[in-house]
Amino acid sequence: MPEAVAAHAEAHGHPAHAHHPALQHHFETLEQQKEASVLGMWIFIIQEVMFFGGLLLAYFLYRVWYHEAWVEGSNELDILLGGINTVVLIGSSLTMALAVRSAQVGSKKGTVNWLIVTMVLGLVFLVIKFFEYKHKYDLNHIPGANFVFEGPHAPQVQIFISLYFGLTGLHALHMVIGFVLLSVIAWMAHKDRFSPEWYTPVEMSGLYWHFVDIVWIFLFPLLYLVDRTHRLG
């Protein structure tokens, strides 16, 4: 009987029902408990997909209606910064996957370090995003009363830029939440709260982080790329 299990059985006063301290009493096994967590997390993620799906739906419909404005608006975005951010974010997904792997094999140092690398990459993404937003601000491209845009489709370009800010802003908010989440998980890992038998919070944060990565995988081509070569005249 592993040490933790023995200690926990003693706390219960009934060694016959010995189980891992992380196993809650309404689950049969740790596998079953983890399966329940994974399912719950996925249902949360599906809800998030629908949330971003609604905004993307607005993007698709307006793109069909105001294609010229979409071309103009999309050409305003900086492909280089967007591209760097794509590499940074996919890189952070790799380090997140390695953090989960370290937790699986029971490497506390690996888990903490990979989580920190992931957080740093997330921060780099947000800083680059900040400079992109600042550039828009300097050009008066913020939708609203002070919106200024040279071109024949300014009102429709404003719709594009509103969706740009809506989609990337909500994505950035998810990144900030992810950052806070990972700092808590890193602290828990540092405090030896995880073991190869139970590392569910690391795995769940991983699922969340990868989901945020997937959102960007769609935002980058849709906002920055697809209408790049369709500039009309």
Partner 1 sequence: MSHIAPVKSYVTVFGTLMVLTTITVAAAFTNLGSLNFPVALAIAITKATVVILFFMHVKYSSKLTKFVVASCLFFLACLFGLTFTDYLSRGWFASPRGTTMAGTQVTVGPDAPGAAEKAAPAEGGPEH
d(C-alpha 5, C-alpha 17), whole Å: 10
Min dist. Cβ of residue 14 to partner 1 (A): 25
Q: Which CB sits closer to partner 1, 15 or 196?
A: 196
Among 2, 151, 169, 221, binds partner 1 (CB under 8 A): 221
Is 193 a binding residue for partner 1 by CB under 8 A? The answer is no
The binding track of 107-136 with respect to partner 1, each residue x by CB under 8 A or -, is ------------------------------
Q: Which CB sits closer to partner 1, 96 or 167?
A: 96
Considering only residues 139 to 168 of the shown chain, the ones binding partner 1 according to CB under 8 A are 155-156
Q: Which CB sits closer to partner 1, 49 or 188?
A: 49
Q: Which CB sits closer to partner 1, 149 or 220?
A: 220
Q: Which CB sits closer to partner 1, 16 or 162?
A: 162
The interface region with partner 1, picked from 13-21, 57-65, 131-139, 173-181 by CB under 8 A, is 57-65
Q: Tell how far CA 44 is from the center of its chain.
A: 13
What's the burial of 92, exposed, middle or buried (CB within 10 Å: 0-12/13-18/19+)?
Answer: buried
Query: Taking Cα atoms as reference points, which of 110, 85, 24, 103 lies closest to residue 223?
Result: 85
Q: Which positions touch partner 1 (CB under 8 A)?
A: 30-31, 34-35, 38-39, 42-43, 45-46, 49-50, 53-54, 57, 60-61, 64-66, 68, 79, 83, 86-87, 90-91, 93-94, 96-98, 101, 104-105, 155-156, 196-197, 203, 206-207, 210-211, 213-214, 217-218, 220-222, 224-230
